[in-house]
Chains A and B, each alone.
Chain A
Amino acid sequence: MGGFFSWVAGSGVVQGVIIGGALAYLTTVLILDAVAKAETATANGWKAIRRAGQPGNGFFVRAALQKALPVVNVFEEAAYWTAEVDGSGKRLTGERAYRVHFPRGQLPPNDAFWSLTATDTVGYMVSTSSGRSSVDDHSGLLANADGSVDILLQAQAPNGATQNWLPTPTGRFKLMLRTYLPGAAIVDGGYEVPPVVEVRP
């Protein structure tokens, strides 16, 4: 037995287990990310995964969606969109200012509420100087004359009214738009979230 153990120790079997295990983990991450990407619908830079949390997903999909959006609601309960890029595909950063323009009647239809949150790149809310990190359908958004609504995303307070301002973290950030009890237009797939557009000074 002693000979066997010293052979194991010297042969590289232990190192093989460690290397194989670590490569298995990395391969799993790559596979699950690829599966999650295939399950993700992207429109205007916003990503949504309709099958997250649904019963009946297969071996790969259920694992991939737990990795992408752990223990989130099913889509009929809450629709989630995330954006890490603006409408032209550039990474969102607090160094720049952005606007999301919702035409009249195009705020997310719902039977509960919607909210737009700015988080760090991992998904955690960040303390902002204003103490606010989301805007929603009950935070007193001001409509334009034509009934449309603009939401401003920037690190510094805008000149004038601040009701439509979503303070952003200073570095790279991520947006999460949640719509609880989404309306038929969302569940059917007809609704698209407008793009995040950079505002040039």
Chain B
Amino acid sequence: MNRVILKYGYPITAVILAIFVWVVYRRIADGGVQAIVPLAVVAVVVWLLGVFVFIWLWPRITVGGFKRAILRHGFGGGPIPVNTLYAVPHRSSQTASTGSLIATGADDLLYVGGWLDLTAGPRVLQVPEMDGRYYSIQFTDPSSGANVAYVGTRTTGTGPADFLLCARSRRGEAPAEMHRIDLPGRSALLIGRVFAAGEDDRVAAYALAKQIRLTAPGHSE
């Protein structure tokens, strides 16, 4: 649907504007210029307020679109429950015919996706030994759309590790063997990327991508 709107944005807009012109014209034709005063006043107020609200909400709407895609549809393996990660087994070109969101990705990466919700407390992100293989996990804040944290080759290296994911307001220490990551909100979009050199390397990359997991902290608090 998004793809259709993006592709035919101009004609769709032209049709909608033509309908508006016709509505205003009909009113003036029936009751003179004063017949459109309430319409015009309301339209201007809604217009000005609406611009502010749309710009303010745009990052949230965009990230929310990914949230819905994850929680309702998933990436080929069915809906992805909150606080779980799904590794897409195929490369982007192999999904090209399906119109999947993954077809906008890079062909050299296997993607991992999930929606993090810390309302019920911290979660643990486990990453396996990547042995020098490029990977990253991006944490995108839904209110600003900013990437507020990264785990991966660039930021934390390719060794096995556990990360305690916390809302920033939370007090307390992470267990000694874990690195603590503070997120500004209680939820985040997680996008993982694991390098796959080609079809021959895909199986090995997928085995590693599947081992990137979200779990509940092992001990009760």
Give the size range of A's interface with the partner: 35 or more
Known contacts A27-B51, A125-B96: does B62 contact A70 (CB below 8 Å)?
yes
| B148 close to chain A: CB less than 8 A | yes
Q: Report whether A127 and B96 are in contact in the complex, using a CB–CB cutoff of 8 Å.
A: yes
> Which of chain A's residues have a CB closer than 8 A to the CB of B53?
24
Give the size range of B's interface with the partner: 35 or more
| A107 close to chain B: CB less than 8 A | no
Q: Report whether B51 and A12 are in contact in the complex, using a CB–CB cutoff of 8 Å.
A: no
Known contacts A77-B154, A181-B154: does B38 contact A63 (CB below 8 Å)?
no
Known contacts A62-B59, A62-B146: does B47 contact A23 (CB below 8 Å)?
yes
The secondary-structure label for the interface of chain A is mixed
* Max count, chain B CB within 10 A of own CB: residue among A65, A112, A125: A125
Q: Report whether A53 and B13 are in contact in the complex, using a CB–CB cutoff of 8 Å.
A: no
Known contacts A53-B140, A112-B134: does B106 contact A16 (CB below 8 Å)?
no
Contacts between chains A and B (CB distance < 8 A), count: 183
| B161 close to chain A: CB less than 8 A | no
Which of B167-175, B190-198, B204-212 lies at the interface with chain A? B190-198
Q: How far is the CA of A133 from the CA of B94 in the complex (A)?
A: 10
Q: Report whether B195 and A112 are in contact in the complex, using a CB–CB cutoff of 8 Å.
A: yes
> Which of chain B's residues have a CB closer than 8 A to the CB of A121?
7
> Which of chain A's residues have a CB closer than 8 A to the CB of B48?
24
Q: Report whether B103 and A28 are in contact in the complex, using a CB–CB cutoff of 8 Å.
A: no
Q: Report whether A25 and B145 are in contact in the complex, using a CB–CB cutoff of 8 Å.
A: no
| B119 close to chain A: CB less than 8 A | no
8 closest residue pairs by CB, A with B: A24-B50, A20-B46, A16-B42, A12-B39, A63-B58, A20-B43, A28-B54, A112-B134
Interfacial residues, chain A to chain B (CB-CB below 8 A): 11-13, 15-17, 19-28, 31-32, 53-57, 59-60, 62-63, 65-67, 70-71, 73-74, 76-77, 111-113, 115, 117, 119, 121-127, 131-134, 136, 138-139, 178, 180-181
Interfacial residues, chain B to chain A (CB-CB below 8 A): 3, 6-7, 13, 16, 20, 23-24, 27, 35-36, 38-51, 53-56, 58-59, 62-63, 65-66, 92-93, 95-97, 99, 103-104, 106-108, 134, 136, 138, 140-141, 144-148, 150, 152-154, 189, 191, 193, 195, 197-198
